[in-house]
Structure 1
């Protein structure tokens, strides 16, 4: 069956250059919410934090990734993040005394080779690197991120209850929520801490809510699965050496649930009507789909699902930007 990281990769949401998939780290991740069968496209059936963020950022981007499954170029930064995550997961396979920074750094090249074996196309990242200088610098950056983690947490004092934990629940409304959690710690008293590793820098306070939304999503799923509200949510930013924590309440999670229900209604409306409006932002400059985007003079692929006109008085899908 492979490691937990490999099993996670086989089910994670796909169609994103910042993510990987089936067959272990490095294969294209298949999104549980994609609902894509062998016979062709199908409507989305569930929601993950990544896809929820996609729709909030740009409904058309969500369509390109979930409905159309348009390919995206591999990203050196995202691929490095996958390697770092694999090291931080597998480090806990070793006895506590052997979880050292030098040992973790030494794991980086091996995890990169495993990833490359599963996704040979990632070699394109360094296709013009004949002398290997860029690859060496890239690996050194990954090693530095791994080493920085040791200044933020002490793995010799941690025994995670779960790593790369797949969580899923169905709300009373019927909405399925799914996702993967990097690490779950359980205190002797039973209190739960959800931990997520970020290889980038901590956002400025005014932009921190986006990352917390992902963590609250996970907390909501765990709570609705029949557990208690997690005691703490912890974001570990390896790029800047920051640790951000948040202690959620039931009121917080009920608010997230309401937002997700409204978001899902908007996604269902767009799915029925085929009305996936682009939402231009500064992030458009990093989008791989400009050739298909009307904002850049492109034409989206033929919509592969049956279109039904919006009901009179229906909420315009394009007004979901506040969620």
Structure 2
């Protein structure tokens, strides 16, 4: 009979990582702890209007691809957007309505540039891949297929609705996009080198193409962060105070952190923001 492996001989389970977890820890270990470690977590602040707006835009674009080709278009996208528009976080009803008009202009202009007959390979698709002892997974906004020099290739697309207009450097240096590219390639069994940030407010598309070396460089960064996450968890288990194992990284973003009320360093670093501080109120495009 084949001898069974003892517990000390069993392979170790892969460490699960997602772009959201890696980015959260890199940005602020204290916020990572509040989000993923503490149970129950500290109370969150009031909902942010801009978070609901971003979610509405993403979901409207997702719903657009679920419609028959014949009815896809700006009007269909705006109908979806109106049905998804958030009700909380705004200063008042006037601001809520005005921001809907502004974002409707963005979305309509963006949809007009799209080839709505070319169905993407994936919409809000979860992708995953192993790397060393890591199990990488994430949810991609959109995965397109294009014709490359050696056959079909994938393009990872990430929608952006914030004020900052992304650049090619932003796309090239994004750990999140690199993880998505590696995971999409594994999930769809198709080469993936190109990533794009689609900024809905401006219509700007910031693109970058990875090589195997640049992808591996980003994956090594992820592995280092995963090691740091494990170290913090081990220190906490060994009795190190939670705020020491997961230190705060105070900065301007503390003003709109969900857990600001539970973090003295965050409260000292930046004044509290109103829930509607990032609501767009300019002229529609």
How high is the TM-score relative to the length of structure 2? 0.75
Write the deviation string for residues 56-83 of structure 1: whole angstroms up to 9, x where unpaired.
Answer: 1111111111112334332111101111
1:158 is displaced (CA, Å) by: 2.4
- Structure 1 residues 157 and 241: CA distance shift in structure 2, 3 A: same
Which of 124, 127, 137 is the aligned partner of 1:164? Answer: 124
What is the SS of the residue equivalent to 1:145?
A: helix
List runs of 5+ in structure 2 lacking aligned partners.
1-13, 237-244, 269-285
What is the SS of the residue equivalent to 2:106?
A: helix
Instruction: Say which is worse superposed, 138-147 or 239-248, in terms of deviation.
Output: 138-147
- Structure 1 residues 297 and 156: CA distance shift in structure 2, 3 A: closer
**More strand per residue:** 2
Write the deviation string for residues 30-65 of structure 1: whole angstroms up to 9, x where unpaired.
Answer: xxxxxxxxxxxxxx9522112211111111111111
- Structure 1 residues 108 and 222: CA distance shift in structure 2, 3 A: closer
> Structure 2 CA distance, aligned partners of 1:168 and 1:45?
13
Which of 83, 107, 127 is the aligned partner of 2:56? Answer: 83
Aligned equivalent of 1:110: 83
What is the SS of the residue equivalent to 2:265?
A: helix
Aligned equivalent of 2:106: 145
1:168 is displaced (CA, Å) by: 2.1
Which of 230, 253, 259 is the aligned partner of 2:215? Answer: 253
- Indicate yes or no: 2:115 matched with 1:155: yes
Instruction: Give the count of matched residue pairs.
Output: 241
What is the SS of the residue equivalent to 2:89?
A: helix
> Structure 2 CA distance, aligned partners of 1:205 and 1:83?
24
1:221 is displaced (CA, Å) by: 1.9
How high is the TM-score relative to the length of structure 1? 0.67
- Indicate yes or no: 2:210 matched with 1:240: no
The answer as to whether partners of 1:280 and 1:295 remain within 8 angstroms in 2 is yes
The answer as to whether partners of 1:96 and 1:155 remain within 8 angstroms in 2 is no
> Structure 1 CA distance, aligned partners of 2:157 and 2:168?
21
Which structure 2 residues correspond to residues 188-267 of structure 1 after superposition, within 5 A?
Answer: 189-203=151-165, 205=167, 208=170, 212-225=174-187, 227-267=189-229
- Structure 1 residues 98 and 123: CA distance shift in structure 2, 3 A: closer
Which of 122, 136, 145 is the aligned partner of 1:186? Answer: 145
Write the deviation string for residues 240-260 of structure 1: whole angstroms up to 9, x where unpaired.
Answer: 221011111111111111111
> Structure 1 CA distance, aligned partners of 2:32 and 2:115?
37
- Structure 1's consecutive aligned runs of 4 or more residues displaced over 6 angstroms after TM superposition are none
The answer as to whether partners of 1:199 and 1:237 remain within 8 angstroms in 2 is yes
- Indicate yes or no: 2:71 matched with 1:98: yes
> Structure 1 CA distance, aligned partners of 2:154 and 2:266?
46
Aligned equivalent of 1:306: none
Q: Which has the higher contact order (CA 8 A, sep 6+)?
A: 2
- Indicate yes or no: 2:251 matched with 1:281: yes
- Structure 1 residues 141 and 211: CA distance shift in structure 2, 3 A: farther
The answer as to whether partners of 2:261 and 2:267 remain within 8 angstroms in 1 is yes
- Structure 1 residues 235 and 124: CA distance shift in structure 2, 3 A: closer
> Structure 2 CA distance, aligned partners of 1:180 and 1:225?
12
- Structure 1 residues 150 and 222: CA distance shift in structure 2, 3 A: closer
